[in-house]
Every structure is written in C-alpha cells, then in structure tokens.
Chain A
Amino acid sequence: DVKVTQSSRYLVKRTGEKVFLECVQDMDHENMFWYRQDPGLGLRLIYFSYDVKMKEKGDIPEGYSVSREKKERFSLILESASTNQTSMYLCASSLQARRYEQYFGPGTRLTVT
C-alpha cells in the first residue's frame, strides 16, 4: 500500500512565523503535490514537483515556496504566515507511469493566529 505521511495533523502558528509542512511518501513516486482545501473553494493546487529539485507553480503559489531535496520528501514553506493561510493542507503523490492516480496524506489543519 502506498503511504503518504504529513508531519503534523494539527498546527497552530502566529502571524509572521515561518512554517514548514513536511510530506513523505514511501513508494518511490516521482510526482508530489501540495493542495489547500477551504470551505466553498474546493481543493486548490499550490505547487507540484516532477522530480528532485524540480518544482512548478500551481493555481495559488503566492505566499508559499517548496523544497524537494530528496525524492521521498516534499516540503511546503510559508515564509511569513498570515491569517488567510489558515486552511487544511493536503499532500499527494503519484507514479509518473500512472501520474493521474494520486495518493493523499492525512492532511495538516493549520491555524494562523
């Protein structure tokens, strides 16, 4: 079974803090994704990565950056957290050969106060 893990289920941070959200997959997947989910807005793609050190912007990259130094790990960074980044963050991964079959982690519910 594919396993995608995220570093925290719940996180509370203060405005202006630098926040790191970590995602690890154990199935040697090439592709990794970060989404945020908000009521009424559905799932929106923030960033994705096709390979180590490769990244591409999704639909809402502003205020975020990412890092992929190892194939199994994809980090989402909030450089200076703001209250409008309070959200559910979901990480996913997929194998390039079946690239549209994404597997999701349990999610991190981030609150910025």
Chain B
Amino acid sequence: GIQVEQSPPDLILQEGANSTLRCNFSDSVNNLQWFHQNPWGQLINLFYIPSGTKQNGRLSATTVATERYSLLYISSSQTTDSGVYFCAVPEETSGSRLTFGEGTQLTVNP
C-alpha cells in the first residue's frame, strides 16, 4: 500500500513564529487531506487539497502531486495551533479508505 511520511515528527515554536510541515507519499494520489487534532482529540479538517494551493486565514497548503508531497504552512502561530497535524491520502485499491501519516506534534509556547 501507499506509504505516507510526515516531517518533522515534533516541532516547538514561540508564539508568532512561522512553520512548514511536510507530507511525502510514495505513489501518485488524486486527493490529500490535512487535519489538526486538538488537545481534546478531535480531528479537524483543515484542507482537502489534491493539487495546487489553498489558503484559510493563517494557514495555507500546497500539494505537488507530480512530486508526491504536500506542505502545510502556519504563519504567526498561536498557542491554539498546538496539537498534532496529520496528512492523509486515499488507498486507491480500497474504496474510500485513507492512509494517514504518523503526524507532526506541534507545540506553540506563549
């Protein structure tokens, strides 16, 4: 099956700093999702981004499907950005299933 790798595994920032999270995948995909898991455990949809660039406030994401990676940018980070960020791609041979990366644990300190 498809392999998904995220980097870095852990990231510690001061409030106000910018960051880039990376998601690499081993095969071509036609969809990709970014999620934020908040400290209470819920996964929040950030982006559904098969290709190109999308922006939502201080967050933006870019997927370059031909080169098999996606980037999540967080600008002017806030303490509420803390949590785990996951990317997920489809398992094409398995219907609607997703393969998740192992996540990036982000801590934003005040």
Residues of A bordering B, CB below 8 Å = 9, 31, 33, 37, 42-43, 45, 48, 50, 56, 58, 88, 90, 92, 94, 96, 98-107, 109
Contacts and interface: CB of A to CB of B under 8 A. Distances in A.
B85 to A, nearest CB: 13
Nearest to B41: A107
A48 B41 contact: no
Given A42-B103, A100-B31, A104-B42, 20 more contacts: A31-B96, A42-B102, A48-B96, A50-B95, A56-B95, A88-B41, A90-B43, A92-B43, A98-B48, A99-B96, A100-B89, A100-B90, A100-B98, A101-B31, A101-B33, A102-B88, A104-B35, A106-B41, A106-B42, A107-B41
B33 A102 contact: yes
* Secondary structure dominating the interface of B: strand
Interface of B: 31, 33, 35, 40-45, 48, 86, 88-90, 95-98, 100-103
A11 B96 CA distance: 29
Nearest to B86: A43
* Secondary structure dominating the interface of A: strand
Contacts of A43: 86, 100
Given A42-B102, A106-B40, A106-B42, A101 B48 contact: yes
Contacts of B89: 100
